[in-house]
Amino acid sequence: MTKTALVTGAGRRFGFEVAKALIEDGYKVFAHYNSSKDGVDELSQLGAEPIQANFARQHDVKEMVTQIKKSGSKLDLLINNASCFFDNDSVDNDSEALETVFQVHNIAPYLLITGLQQQLSNSDNGLIINITDIYTDKPSTNYIAYCAAKAGLANMTQAFAKALAPDVRVNAIQPGPILFLPEHDNEHKMQVLDETPLQVEGGLEPMIDTVRFLRDNPFLTGESIKVDGGRALNL
Ligand SMILES: NC(=O)C1=CN([C@@H]2O[C@H](COP(=O)(O)OP(=O)(O)OC[C@H]3O[C@@H](n4cnc5c(N)ncnc54)[C@H](OP(=O)(O)O)[C@@H]3O)[C@@H](O)[C@H]2O)C=CC1
Ligand SMILES: Nc1nc2c(c(=O)[nH]1)N=C([C@H](O)[C@@H](O)CO)CN2
């Protein structure tokens, strides 16, 4: 029977690449997006089912759960990847942005996990992978709300790992400098790489390899794996 996966934030960067990798692995992928429709259209050409939802709106998330439930009784893999990397200035100057940080990283994953719990249990290897951050354990003072929200997602990983066992496994991946943003200047990149023992930007393949590792190891739950070139050692 065809494996199915839901990837949130599948329209660009890591979400896009991991969704494409799962399609290549033979999965039917539900490709969620908020604004990056072009990327999801490309995935649709490969067989993905697009789902648009703004995670700042609980109604959108609940509608998304309904749409996925209508498509079938089983979900093998949920990757909670969607994220808004807002710094202190962004949330201090926009109260909606402050709410959105916690809606995207905490409320939406909670609603997706609880709403799709039965579908995940109907799989013979139901797995949830939450994408957190090395800042979960040692927060940055420049992204206080973001780090707190990611810490909440990390805590949820452990709680749901206990609550959903043995039917569903729940694990996290903590990325470090995997892919800089276009707006990051060379000074920022050099500063980050100076803090990174392996001294390189990791790229997305190590993340995809870690998704496959968690998928293919049936005895891992409640675990969190850093994919960070060692940067967490220097935070
Ligand atoms: N890149 C890095 O070096 C690091 C990344 N991480 C984490 O790894 C994951 C992937 O990183 P990366 O690919 O760089 O992430 P991006 O910031 O590039 O993408 C985040 C995704 O989240 C989606 N998203 C943002 N806001 C909302 C919203 N309101 N509603 C629904 N979806 C939303 C976006 O959707 P859309 O584009 O459709 O609007 C986008 O696809 C993220 O969880 C990130 O926090 C952690 C540490 C380092
Ligand atoms: N949603 C995102 N979260 C994070 C990103 C990103 O690009 N999108 N990047 C980081 C890294 O710290 C990186 O920017 C190196 O400075 C953290 N979270």
For residue 71, the enclosing domain spans 4-230
For the stretch 151-176, what's the b/e string if a residue is b when 16 or more beta carbons lie within 10 angstroms of its beta carbon? Answer: bbbbebbbebbeebeeebbbbbbbbb
Q: Cβ(213) to ligand 2 under 6 A? A: no
Does 222 fall in a domain?
Answer: yes
With residue 22 as reference, give the H or E element that holds it: helix 13-24
DSSP bridge partners of 170:
128
Per-residue model confidence as pLDDT tens for the chain (235 residues): 899 999 999 999 999 999 999 999 999 999 999 999 999 999 999 999 999 999 999 999 999 999 999 998 899 999 999 999 999 999 999 989 999 999 999 999 999 999 999 999 999 999 999 999 999 999 999 999 999 999 999 999 999 999 999 999 999 999 999 999 999 999 999 999 999 999 999 999 999 999 999 999 999 999 999 999 999 999 9
How much is the pTM?
Answer: 0.98
Q: The tokens 């060379």 sit on which residue?
A: 186
Between CA 77 and CA 8 the distance in angstroms is 11
ipTM value, please give it: 0.98
Between CA 54 and CA 59 the distance in angstroms is 9
Pocket lining for ligand 1, CB < 6 angstroms: 9, 11-15, 33-36, 54-56, 81-85, 100, 104, 131, 133, 175, 177-179
Q: Assign residue 106 the CATH number of its domain.
A: 3.40.50.720
* 159 contacts 171 by C-beta, under 8 angstroms: no
Q: Cβ(133) to ligand 2 under 6 A? A: yes
Does 235 fall in a domain?
Answer: no
Tokens for 83? 């994220």
Q: Cβ(177) to ligand 2 under 6 A? A: yes
Between CA 87 and CA 66 the distance in angstroms is 33
**What total of structural domains would you count in the chain?**
1
Does 163 fall in a domain?
Answer: yes
Q: How close is the Cα of 171 to the center of ligand 1, in Å?
A: 18
